[in-house]
Amino acid sequence: MRKILAAGNWKMNNTPSQAEAMINELKAKVKDAKNDVLIFTPFVCLPAAVKAAEGSNIKIGAQNMHFEDKGAFTGEISAQMLKEIGVEYVLIGHSERREYFAETDDTVNAKVIQALKNGLTPMVCCGETLKQREDTITFDFIRSQIKIAFRSLSKEDALKVVVAYEPIWAIGTGKVATSEQADEVCRDIRECLAGIYDEETAANIRILYGGSVNKDCAAELFAMNDIDGGLVGGASLKVEDFSIICNA
Ligand code: PGA
């Protein structure tokens, strides 16, 4: 069965020393957590975060990476670099990266393939804008994001991918999707994956919801049939709140 995953996305917050302190504090609070715990930190915080999380149940992930092995890509970070410092997960195609850093469905697919090739677990983000929701094209749009993200992935590889459904209108706005709205899209993503692979494969892929998840709504969201956890931005910056989400 799919275990609930509580993933924090710190975005561009915290320095390495702050990361170390926060993870040390969190470690004690989540050592018996019901859910799997994961934190995506800024690149420069990764070594400190990995070290602080050592021997605990907290996994560490990066917020992005490049799809090539190495080369003339100034300012970029490769999968191999992440792997060598003990990073286990990588966030791919967050809507902020799509909006501000020209990430496309094709670069998302290339990065997913590259992450898997290097033994990193990719968490692929998808999600519609408010305009797309109002135009009632949410399902079509997200299915297209999913189909391209999973393009040319074998069933074995697909099983290693985590999906995060994050409606853009719910990110950082305090406007959480209702449990039904979130579950409905997560279920459709699962049906889309069943179409690409099969029912059994789709039933084993974790699909998270993200967008203003907080300590008060997490339990209800995580109890839904097709929601397997949360990708948490703002609330992951508060240790107390995030630890509640890790136990929701
Ligand atoms: P939020 O961010 O929880 O602050 O809405 C979620 C995300 O962008 O991953």
| Segments making up each domain of the chain, as ranges | 5-246
State the distance from the centre of ligand 1 to the C-alpha of 79, rounded, in angstroms.
24
Please report the pLDDT score of residue 75 as a whole number: 98
Q: Which two tokens stand for residue 111?
A: 């990065």
Residue nearest to atom 7 of ligand 1 (CA): 233
State the distance from the centre of ligand 1 to the C-alpha of 9, rounded, in angstroms.
7
Atom number in ligand 1 closest to CA 125? 9
Which one of the listed residues 94, 96, 103, 128 is annotated catalytic?
94
Atom number in ligand 1 closest to CA 214? 3
pLDDT in tens, the chain (248 residues): 799 999 999 999 999 999 999 999 999 999 999 999 999 999 999 999 999 999 999 999 999 999 999 999 999 999 999 999 999 999 999 999 999 999 999 999 999 999 999 999 999 999 999 999 999 999 999 999 999 999 999 999 999 999 999 999 999 998 889 999 999 999 999 999 999 999 999 999 999 999 999 999 999 999 999 999 999 999 999 999 999 999 99
Q: Long-range contacts: 66-71, Cβ < 8 Å, 24+?
A: 66/111, 66/114, 67/107, 67/110, 67/111, 67/113, 67/114, 68/114, 69/114
- Burial (CB count within 10 angstroms: exposed 0-12, middle 13-18, buried 19+), residue 211: buried
pTM of the model: 0.97
Residue nearest to atom 2 of ligand 1 (CA): 233
Atom number in ligand 1 closest to CA 96? 8
> Measured in whole angstroms, how far is the alpha carbon of residue 178 from the centre of its chain?
19
One-letter amino acid at 160 equals K
- Whether the CB-CB separation of 111 and 67 falls below 8 Å is answered with yes
Element (H, E) at 242: helix 239-246
Pocket of ligand 1 (CB under 6 A): 9, 166, 171-172, 210-213, 231-235
What lies within 8 Å, CB to CB, of 83 at 6+ separation is 118, 119, 120
Q: How far apart are the first and last CA of the chain?
A: 17
State the distance from the centre of ligand 1 to the C-alpha of 80, rounded, in angstroms.
27
Question: Active site includes 94?
Answer: yes
Atom number in ligand 1 closest to CA 170? 5
- Burial (CB count within 10 angstroms: exposed 0-12, middle 13-18, buried 19+), residue 215: middle
Which one of the listed residues 20, 96, 103, 166 is annotated catalytic?
166
User: To test ligand 1's pocket by mutation, which of 64, 94, 232, 237 has the most ligand atoms within 8 angstroms of CB?
Assistant: 232
User: Check: CATH 3.20.20.70 for 5-246?
Assistant: yes
Please report the pLDDT score of residue 148 as a whole number: 98
In terms of Cα–Cα distance, which of 241, 243, 177 is closest to 210? 177
User: To test ligand 1's pocket by mutation, which of 10, 99, 213, 221 has the most ligand atoms within 8 angstroms of CB?
Assistant: 213
Question: Active site includes 166?
Answer: yes
Residue nearest to atom 1 of ligand 1 (CA): 233
- Whether the CB-CB separation of 87 and 61 falls below 8 Å is answered with yes
State the distance from the centre of ligand 1 to the C-alpha of 211, rounded, in angstroms.
5
